[in-house]
Amino acid sequence: MADSVRYNDWFDKALKDLESAKILFEHDGDNAIVSFHCQQAIEKALKAFILRKKSNL
């Protein structure tokens, strides 16, 4: 798979995790689950950034 596609995949997954955290937060979801999705979003966004800059993880 081309690295540019992998970058987009990781970034899309990060956005989905962030949206999940937002929905859970707005509906009084468990703070641990909201925090988990936030952490996952940050990790995936960072992977996308690294792939974009280095083209390799």
Q: Given a cut of 90, is residue 25 above it in pLDDT?
A: yes
Q: Domain containing 41: what range?
A: 3-54
The larger pLDDT score, comparing residue 54 to residue 25, is at: 25
Q: Given a cut of 70, is residue 2 above it in pLDDT?
A: no
Number of domains in the chain: 1
Whole-structure pTM value: 0.83
Q: Given a cut of 70, is residue 10 above it in pLDDT?
A: yes
**Tens digits of residue pLDDT in 34-43:** 999 999 999 9
CB 24 within 8 A of CB 37: yes
CB neighbourhood size of 4 (10 A): 11
Average pLDDT value for residue range 12-27: 98
Q: Given a cut of 70, is residue 56 above it in pLDDT?
A: no
